[in-house]
Chain A
Amino acid sequence: MLDSPKSSKSSALSAKDSVKKLKIKEETKAKGSAKGKRKQLGKKDEEVDISMASMGHPEIFPLVFTGKTQEILNCRINEDITEEKPYKLLKKEDIIQDMKTRAAVSDFHPVKKIVLEYPGEELLIVLDSEFKYGQNFYLVATEEAKESFLNPPEAEEEEADTKEGTTEEYVYKPPVRKPWVSLGSEKEIEEESVNESLRKIKYMISRVRREFGSKVKFTDRNASSVKDGYIECTSYQDKNFIIKKLEKDVGAQVIPKVKEMSTQTKWTYPRNAATQYFPREFSDEEKELCLSSEDLKEFIISVFLRVEIALQQNEIMNAFFDDWKALAEDESTFGGKSDAYLKEYQSFTDLHYLKHRTVSCVCWHPTIYGIIAVSVTERLSYEERIAQSGKLLLRKSPILFWSFSDPIHPQLMLECPEDVYCFEFCPSDPNIIAGGCMNGQVVLWDISEYEEKLQNAKTGAGGSKNTAVNMPTFIQAQQSGKEPHFVRYCAVSSIEYGHKTVITDIHWLPDYFEVNRMGIAFENRIGVCVQLITCSPDCSILFWDLRAPKPTIQSSFEKAKEEKAIEAPPDVPTTFKHLDLSWRPLIKANLSKSDTSGDYSPTKISLAEEHFHYRMQDKMQYQIKPEIFGDENPYKQLRVPSAKALKILENIPTNFFVGTEDGEVIYSDWKMERESDSGRLISQKPANKYTIHDGVVRTIQRSPFFKDIILSVGGWNFAIWKEGVTSGPILQSCCSSKRYTVGHWSLSRAGVFFIGREDGNIDIWDLLEKTHEPSQTQNISISMITCIKPWIVSSKQHFLAISDNFGTLHILEISWTLSHPSSNERASVDHYFEREVKHLDYFEKRQEFRAKERRELELETQRKKTRVAGGQKSREQMEEQLNINYADFLDEEKKILTGLGLLKATDRFA
């Protein structure tokens, strides 16, 4: 209200005072002057305080100014001090002067002390016309009050005026300042207030000075060793999260997923680009210039030493040779002797076709896996054959094809005109088979139509389309394997011009050369095998050519014969129709004995250049060949090319080894000579002949590893020959207890070969292990072994096909040690043969030497005898001499033995 403007005063105290001054001013009106007087009186006694302190104004000192004082101080009422200006500033000096002059009479006496103490120069005297403070004047004791009084006197006046106006309407009672009466709130405040009840204890913790800045030492401490060494925050079930929200209101909105993307690609397209360059080279002059420069010379000289050292280092030792690996391989050969065995894989027999029959020859199919062909013949001796010749005409022995997938039913059957003793697949085309018969005919078959069937024989069910899928398997098997297909032969040779007795061996000539009528080898342009060689105990070796003879050679007689030729049955392939029944050999070579008259009767033949189509390396080459044929089988279009176009091959050896019926091994040449007088072509006489075997030579075979090593088996022993060594075999075995019937080299190991025996055993010989006896003997069957043929299917599977006299074909698997050569086996075997050759040489030389020695010795003794006095001694005398010598010898012997302590005096040798 009225107080508010005053509250903005600078000094709070003065503001308050001025406010209070106003209040006091208003109030003292009612209270009157009695209070003031009383106070003054009281103050006189006190002499200290006459201020209005009790009223809240300690600086107001009410004073009575008499008229005289008023005149002295020039503050006469209504003259100097009026209502409008109720104050006057009096100088302190004047007041002091007055006090001095009038002493106790002075009106200022009660405030003497205050005046003297007053700091300022001028004191304020205020007219108190209403006697607010009890007197007509009052003195303001403080400067601040003085200032405040002086400053807002106008407001005071105004307010006083206004105050007077309003009080008529509303009696405003401003709150009266009362002394504070405690109503008990102090207790609450005390309770609420935070007081320190305890006296704070002060601690000062400090470290020892010397530890300041020292290194920190850390030690480990087990957390559980000390109580409370670790603080655990164990998990607990927080109750806040027990409540599960089972229902939740969720809103979903489907919006289509929109994605925009773009790329900018640069299309690069391939473009052909080519660069051509040639190396920088010096011209010859420049080269010359360089070569003659000094720089080059110096360079070469300086560099030469280093190069020489390096070159020689390599010569001395191969630094990169892995000794460890080489060592390991060698070890394996001496290890498992027990591992070298033949495991029975499968055996084939047929009751229908093989009754009373024996297997004469076995051949593996060169290309198709698991197919093996077997030729069977009647198991009869010669006399029996003649006796039963009538019956035999009806019972024809076939060639059977077995497949691994079906051990009971043969896959294919080839018809034979007579019993086939030997046969061979053509190396260039495995669908052509040539066989030699009992009666001396050569037979040809063409099984091209059945090739697919043989290939599908693996699956077992064959390629028959009639079988329904849901048929039970045994019926299927029956249907498919019911009857093997019967294939007729394509062609047979003419009977007059062929062999006279059984053909015991047949070979295909390799496909890179062919032979003409003179026996000279020519280049074979066709690339397939076209010629055969057969031998028979009728003392001849015949060369046959598959191609049709030139029309000009044919005589009219033969032409007529052709017309009469019987039409071949429709299911016979016409590949060799031109040969059928009119096939003549190309060359007929005789093996005449050199010292006596008569000829050798060959049983087996071994050519120098054989097409080893069962050799592993060649097999790879070979398998590619059939594809070159394309659609046209060259066998269907064989023509004899003109002789001039072909090139003579000089380096083909035309020598061959022959084994005869009498156990001889003959080395001869097939080139024909012209006899001087008659102009006929006759064959050369054999170069060498050896009688080694005691029986028929059953096998003559070249080693697949060494072209000049030949194995011959016959009678009770076998021999190994080296072509070129004419003194004899380099190895000859001792006679065995049982007859040897067949032999074959191993295809994978150079020093191993298999020999079949009469009693059904197989002897496995390993030349690197033992040469005096077989390294292993294994019994295969109860009857005589008739044929052995090994075959390599893969590096892990090596098979041995063995046939016996009862017609059973056993397929055996050759174990690892037997089939895998050691690292340097070939070289070792080679060395062995060389050693043997040297040994043979040495032996011969020693023989000569011995013979010479013996002759010399004889001469010596002769000379000695003639020198003896008395001329020749008679026979009796010589005998006597001998007896005396012998008796002397016995005495000496006795003496020596007794001397040695070996003979007791009483003992006597017989």
Chain B
Amino acid sequence: MAEVEETLKRIQSQKGVQGVIVVNSEGIPIKSMVDNSTTVQYAGLMHSFIMKAKSTVRDIDPQNDLTFLRICSKKNEIMIAPDKDYFLIVIQNLTE
């Protein structure tokens, strides 16, 4: 528990990081560093996106698997690290 906290804190302390969210495989947020409404919104939206990306990668090559997902937008960048059971979503502000 403490290790988890510590690692999440390390991620949060990186430059430009706006928020960190840990979501389970169904899309229900478990731990979050941002307010509840944002968490819920991100978890819901990202979940379907991750599923789609994962299935795309596997369709192309069944032996392949999704390791990392980055969505770069004008204002910030959303990074998602998927796993069997959980997803880690990190939102970072792009440096100017």
Could you list which residues of chain A lie within 8 angstroms of chain B, going by C-beta atoms? 279-282, 287, 290-292, 295-297, 299-304, 306-308, 310-312, 314-315, 318-320
Contacts and interface: CB of A to CB of B under 8 A. Distances in A.
A290 B30 contact: yes
A310 B68 contact: yes
A897 to B, nearest CB: 59
Interface of B: 1, 3-4, 7-8, 10-11, 14-17, 22, 24, 26-31, 40, 43-44, 67-68, 70, 72, 77, 79, 81, 83-86, 88, 90, 92, 94-96
Contacts of A282: 28-30
A519 B53 CA distance: 64
Contact of A300 (B7, B40, B96): B7
Contacts of B15: 311, 315
Contact of B4 (A296, A302, A314, A320): A296
Nearest to B82: A303
A308 B43 CA distance: 21
A287 B1 CA distance: 12
B7 A304 contact: yes
Nearest to B93: A314
B24 A290 contact: yes
Given A311-B14, A315-B15, A291 B31 contact: yes
Given A299-B86, A311-B92, A315-B14, 12 more contacts: A280-B26, A281-B28, A281-B29, A282-B30, A292-B1, A303-B83, A304-B7, A308-B11, A311-B14, A314-B95, A315-B95, A320-B94
Contacts of B86: 295-296, 299
Given A279-B44, A312-B14, A315-B14, A307 B90 contact: yes
B24 A291 contact: no
Contacts of B28: 280-282
Nearest to B81: A303
A299 B70 contact: no
**Nearest 9 CB-CB pairings of A with B:** A303-B81, A279-B40, A311-B14, A299-B86, A290-B30, A299-B83, A292-B1, A315-B15, A300-B7
B91 to A, nearest CB: 11
Contacts of A281: 28-29, 40
A844 to B, nearest CB: 34
5 contacts: A282-B28, A291-B1, A311-B16, A311-B90, A315-B95
Contact of A307 (B11, B26, B30): B11
A310 to B, nearest CB: 5
A300 B68 contact: no
A858 B38 CA distance: 71
Contacts of A304: 7, 10-11
A11 B96 CA distance: 123
Interface centre among A279, A308, A310, A314, by most B CB within 10 Å? Answer: A314
A306 B72 CA distance: 16
Contacts of A307: 11, 79, 81, 88, 90
B85 A299 contact: yes
B94 A300 contact: no
Given A281-B40, A299-B86, A301-B7, A287 B92 contact: no
Contacts of A299: 83-86, 88
B22 A314 contact: no
Contacts of B3: 297, 300-301
Contact of A296 (B17, B22, B44, B92): B22
A511 B63 CA distance: 67
B93 to A, nearest CB: 9
A723 B87 CA distance: 52
Contacts of A295: 85-86
Contact of B30 (A287, A297, A319): A287
A306 B7 CA distance: 13
B68 A306 contact: yes
Nearest to B79: A310
A306 B67 contact: yes
A297 B4 CA distance: 6
B11 A280 contact: no
Given A297-B3, A300-B88, A307-B88, A318 B95 contact: yes
A291 to B, nearest CB: 6
Nearest to B67: A306
A300 to B, nearest CB: 5
Contacts of B26: 280
A312 to B, nearest CB: 7
B37 to A, nearest CB: 9
B85 to A, nearest CB: 6
Contacts of A318: 94-96
A287 B43 CA distance: 15
A310 B14 CA distance: 11
A290 B17 CA distance: 24
A299 B31 CA distance: 13
Contacts of A314: 16, 77, 92, 94-95
A311 B77 CA distance: 9
B27 to A, nearest CB: 7
Contacts of B17: 311
Nearest to A305: B81
Nearest to A289: B30
B44 to A, nearest CB: 6
B38 to A, nearest CB: 12
Contacts of B8: 300
Contacts of B4: 291, 296-297, 300
Nearest to A315: B15
A777 B30 CA distance: 68
A163 B67 CA distance: 125
Nearest to B8: A300
B26 to A, nearest CB: 7
B40 to A, nearest CB: 4
A313 to B, nearest CB: 9
Nearest to B74: A320
Name, among A287, A296, A307, A319, the residue most crowded by chain B CB atoms within 10 Å (CB to CB): A307
Contacts of B7: 300-301, 304
A292 B3 CA distance: 10
A296 B79 contact: no
Contacts of A280: 26-28
Of B14, B15, B30, B67, most A-chain CB atoms within 10 Å: B30
Nearest to A312: B14
Contacts of B27: 280
B50 to A, nearest CB: 13
Nearest to A287: B30
Contacts of A308: 10-11, 14
A291 B30 CA distance: 7
B88 A303 contact: yes
Contacts of B67: 306
Q: Which of A279, A280, A312 has the most B CB atoms < 10 Å from its CB?
A: A279
B94 A311 contact: no
A291 B94 CA distance: 30
B47 to A, nearest CB: 10
Contacts of A290: 24, 30
A296 B70 contact: no
Nearest to B72: A320
A279 B7 CA distance: 27
A244 B83 CA distance: 88
Nearest to A277: B44
A311 B95 contact: no
Nearest to A320: B72
A306 B87 CA distance: 13
Contacts of B40: 279, 281
Contacts of A300: 3-4, 7-8, 22, 88
A472 to B, nearest CB: 59
Nearest to B15: A315
Contacts of A306: 67-68, 81
Which of B7, B67, B70, B72 neighbours the largest number of chain A CB atoms within 10 Å of its CB?
B7
A577 to B, nearest CB: 54
A190 B95 CA distance: 115
Contacts of B44: 279
A106 to B, nearest CB: 119
A299 B4 CA distance: 9
